[in-house]
Structure 1
Amino acid sequence: MLIQGEQIGLRLLEPEDAALLWKWLNDPDVLAYYEGRDRPQSHDDIRGSFYEDTGEATLCIIQFMGNDIGYLQFYPLDDEDKQSYGYGEIDGVIYGMDQFIGETAYWNKGIGTGLIGEVARYLFSCQGADKIVMDPQAWNERAIKVYEKNGFVKKRLLPRHEWHEGEYRDCWLIELDKESLQKKLEK
């Protein structure tokens, strides 16, 4: 278990979790926010994306009160990603992360806010991150509010950055640095 809080846990992805991923990534409600409703995932897609071609990403299952409810991955940005986000000249360790709650019954309950805070603290204290970045689609105001509650700030708009449901969508580059999180925790 990477993170074990009172309610929220984060464990490494296991081979038997493929069935959960398939369930979640074939749910139109989930796909509306992650990948797109026009891109349900086959078993081969899941095997390739989550079990074969993972690079340096750490792939995890989100748990709430012991129940598997979603997926989260975090990864150190490589030089190409740093360059594309405008961090090419910045020293330090920058992590990216992506996540979704796949069990829609757990949406709108504050779980995402708690999860993001727990993972941010973990990345700063245990993985040596100096910054954490994400690139949510600009229209996804619900997710952006969750991130902002945890201290993430919008750095710049990424026009036509991500393919979603038949078109390229704008995304926000958002970031949280260690010092900002510390100030937020001290309040």
Structure 2
Amino acid sequence: MISGKKVELRPVSLEDHKRTYHWRNDKETATFDAGSGYYRYSHMPLEQIEASYEKDIRTIDRREVGEFSIYTKGEDARHIGSIGYRSLDIIARRCVVGIGIGEKELWGKGYGTDALKALLHYLFHTMNLKRVQLDTWSGNARAIRAYEKCGFVIEGRLRNDAYIDGKYYDTIVMGILREEFEFNR
């Protein structure tokens, strides 16, 4: 288990994976989580989500991908989102991360920032990575602010790269180096 100040990152259980059904079928949550990938991410029947657990979670190659459930801390701990890394390159010592808080009433309360900081600590200190990157769409201002709080900087912009709700948005590419994370702690 990876621990932050407000959250714990736990291995994904089948019940956690099934809980994403509600988040994936809520238009607002799914749009912020998946951006222009909304059409692939949302409108999934529960049976399909259950069936994907074996392929997507239980049998992933941990040398390249890590998936975690985000839980609040305390006696009334609850599953509130997901976080993970992918595209791990152990030679260049880098990866790409992604995060989503599914419980809307907890948006803007620091849970995502805390989860991301906990994962970054793990990636930089336990896995000895040098660089972590992520991307989001330019309309996701709340996420961009949270990423900047963690020390990420905007490294690039792919113009009109995301198409969401009838409008084009830029894809914002952000990165953080280990020494920048240490400075921002």
Q: Considering the TM-score relative to the shorter chain, is it more than 0.5?
A: yes
1:137 aligned residue: 137
Query: 1:62-101, aligned counterparts within 5 Å?
Result: 62-65=70-73, 66-77=77-88, 92-101=92-101
Deviates more, 1:39-48 or 1:120-129: 39-48
Shift of 1:35: 2.7
The alignment of Structure 1 onto Structure 2 pairs a total of residues equal to 173
CA 1:51–1:34 in structure 2 vs 1: closer, same or farther (change >3 Å)?
A: farther
Contact persistence 1:76–1:93 (CA under 8 A): no
Aligned mates of 1:51, 1:160 — CA distance in 2? 35
Unaligned runs of 5+ in 2: none
Contact persistence 1:50–1:59 (CA under 8 A): no
1:59 aligned residue: 67
* TM-score, with length taken from structure 1: 0.80
Give yes or no for the alignment of 1:17 onto 2:20.
no
Contact persistence 1:76–1:95 (CA under 8 A): yes
Give yes or no for the alignment of 1:26 onto 2:60.
no
Any idea what SS the aligned residue of 1:34 has? helix
Give yes or no for the alignment of 1:118 onto 2:126.
no
Aligned mates of 1:143, 1:119 — CA distance in 2? 16
> Match of 2:71, as an amino acid?
Q
1:85 aligned residue: none
> Match of 1:31, as an amino acid?
A
Shift of 1:155: 0.4
Shift of 1:31: 1.4
Shift of 1:77: 3.9
Q: Percent identity?
A: 27
Contact persistence 1:134–1:175 (CA under 8 A): yes
Any idea what SS the aligned residue of 1:135 has? strand
1:171 aligned residue: 171
Any idea what SS the aligned residue of 2:138 has? coil
1:41 aligned residue: 44
Any idea what SS the aligned residue of 2:84 has? strand
Q: Which stretches of structure 1, 4 residues or more, deviate above 6 A after TM superposition?
A: none
Unaligned runs of 5+ in 1: 80-90
Shift of 1:15: 2.1
CA 1:184–1:5 in structure 2 vs 1: closer, same or farther (change >3 Å)?
A: closer
* TM-score, with length taken from structure 2: 0.81
Shift of 1:6: 4.1
Deviation readout 1:17-49 (Å, 9 max, x if unpaired): 232111211122311312356532233553576
CA 1:51–1:33 in structure 2 vs 1: closer, same or farther (change >3 Å)?
A: farther
